[in-house]
Amino acid sequence: MSRIITIARRTIVQNLRDTGNALGQMLIFPILLIFILGNALAPMYDVGNVDPTVVGYLNEDSGPMGRLADEFMNMPEVKDLLDVRPVDSVTQGNNLLQDMDITALIHIPGDYSTKVIAGQEAEIAITVLPGRTFRGALVETVMESFICGSNATQAMLAMGNPQPEYRPAHGTIEDQPFSVSGLMPDAMDYYAVTMLVMIVMYGTMYGAYGMAANNLYPVGRRVKASPVRPGEQYIGTTIGNVATIFVSSLVIIAFSHFAYGVNWGDNLFLILLITFLHVILAVGLGSMAIAVMRDEKRASVLINLLVIAWTFLAGGYFKITLPSAFSWIQYFSPSFLVQTALFNTIYGGPFSQTLLMLAAMIGIILLSGIIGIAAERRSGQ
């Protein structure tokens, strides 16, 4: 253990001495990029007039409340907010959700009127596409205005009115300016996350150069001749590189928050955990690349190409939306996994999806570590 700590300490010192990478590439460069992109592309992320949210609508209730629901969905005020597209079944609606053709599915069950008139609990099912927190909240808010009428009907029944009437009041929805702060990122918030993810991913170079120094340079060969085992050298170097990049990440997060006002959400612990796992993932991939390829130049070229491709697929340079048939490709990008987990944590996305992203990241870390250590032992034999 003491030898691992010694190797880790030596690695950190070596990284800090390389001020061009440690200070320039890992700190100044991303901070400037966040500022430049956040200001230059701000109009693209400015929410002025929100386009109508596309929703599927299935009304299986032929009773009076079902007819009133149809009238409500056809109100001009509602049409300004919701682009309602009728569907024939729940299965069709779910398929449209999976294909991302609609943002939400509104389903009124066949017994809705019966339950409302009987004074029983009646529910309208709203299924929202994962990751569409703001759009989902908008759909729920609009439907709550209709449900309030249902609740009023139940209350009148309870008070003894045998034939309560409920009519949607026209002109009750009024446009008012609103703030989306905390609901979705502006340009500065968006690029703070994507540039952090990109620059940490370039930390694969630390892993590659560290392993190259251990295996391909004269100093590393002399260390191999010492009692230090290959596994200890691999782990110690990895720990030193992880510590260097993680501290740089903390500085970027803190600086962007206090200097640029970037929103990092309320769950700072989970943000730091995701970032820490991301750092381990990046260093592990770089170490694995050099351990397997045994050629620093080739590994460097491959890593640079992969980081660019991964960042593009994740929407790091600009937001992209792939056709539904090809959206699965994004999950091959570690950057996409990290960005999804971070944005979900900051803006209240589905926690189950965040856990899935974390599980995938841990899987990549374990796989790269096993392959890297196996290749390192084979080279030391």
Contacts (Cβ under 8 Å, ≥6 apart) of 193: 185, 339, 342, 343, 346
Contacts (Cβ under 8 Å, ≥6 apart) of 364: 281, 284, 285, 334
pLDDT for position 175: 47
Asked if residues 105 and 56 have their Cβ atoms less than 8 Å apart, the reply is yes
**pTM, to two decimals:** 0.65
Tokens of 167: 């009519």
- Mean pLDDT across 74-82: 85
Residue 80, pLDDT > 90, answer no
pLDDT for position 173: 46
pLDDT for position 180: 46
pLDDT for position 167: 55
Residue 47, pLDDT > 70, answer no
**Confidence grade of residue 190 (pLDDT, cut at 50, 70, 90):** very high
User: Of 221-235, 262-276, 285-299, 300-314, which gets the smallest average pLDDT?
Assistant: 221-235
- Mean pLDDT across 176-192: 69
Separation CA 379–CA 274 (nearest Å): 32
| Lookup result for tokens 């392959």 | 371
**Nearest one of 132, 131, 191, 189 to 316, comparing CA atoms:** 191
At 270-283, the pLDDT tens digits run 999 999 999 999 98
**Confidence grade of residue 205 (pLDDT, cut at 50, 70, 90):** confident
- What's the whole-number average pLDDT of the chain? 80
**Confidence grade of residue 249 (pLDDT, cut at 50, 70, 90):** very high
User: What size, in residues, is the chain?
Assistant: 381
Separation CA 144–CA 139 (nearest Å): 9
User: Of 23-37, 139-153, 165-179, which gets the smallest average pLDDT?
Assistant: 165-179
Asked if residues 336 and 364 have their Cβ atoms less than 8 Å apart, the reply is no
Q: Which phi and psi angles does 186 have, rounded to 5°?
A: -85, -175
pLDDT for position 48: 55
Asked if residues 329 and 322 have their Cβ atoms less than 8 Å apart, the reply is yes
- Mean pLDDT across 356-361: 94
Query: 10 Å Cβ neighbour count for 301?
Result: 11
Asked if residues 313 and 333 have their Cβ atoms less than 8 Å apart, the reply is yes
User: Of 10-14, 78-82, 329-333, which gets the smallest average pLDDT?
Assistant: 10-14
Residue 285, pLDDT > 70, answer yes
Query: 10 Å Cβ neighbour count for 346?
Result: 22
- Mean pLDDT across 46-54: 71
Separation CA 79–CA 69 (nearest Å): 13
Q: Can you give the C-alpha Rg of the chain in angstroms?
A: 27
* DSSP helix/strand/coil, 84: strand
pLDDT for position 171: 47
Separation CA 55–CA 101 (nearest Å): 9
First to last CA, the chain: 22
**Confidence grade of residue 162 (pLDDT, cut at 50, 70, 90):** low
Residue 255, pLDDT > 70, answer yes
Residue 59, pLDDT > 90, answer yes
pLDDT for position 216: 54
Alpha-carbon distances of 354 from 20, 212, 267, 340, 349, rounded to whole Å: 34, 34, 13, 7, 8
- Mean pLDDT across 33-46: 83
User: Of 45-54, 73-82, 86-95, 215-224, which gets the smallest average pLDDT?
Assistant: 215-224
User: Of 10-14, 194-198, 224-228, which gets the smallest average pLDDT?
Assistant: 224-228
pLDDT for position 221: 53
| Lookup result for tokens 């109100």 | 75
User: Of 7-11, 55-59, 206-210, 315-319, which gets the smallest average pLDDT?
Assistant: 206-210
Contacts (Cβ under 8 Å, ≥6 apart) of 326: none
The pairing of strands 53-59 and 82-86 is: parallel
**Nearest one of 273, 310, 281 to 372, comparing CA atoms:** 281
Question: Pick the residue with more confidence: 252 or 161?
Answer: 252
- Residues of the chain above pLDDT 90, percent: 28
pLDDT for position 273: 96
Question: Pick the residue with more confidence: 337 or 288?
Answer: 337
At 96-115, the pLDDT tens digits run 988 888 999 999 999 988 88
pLDDT for position 144: 83
Asked if residues 363 and 370 have their Cβ atoms less than 8 Å apart, the reply is no
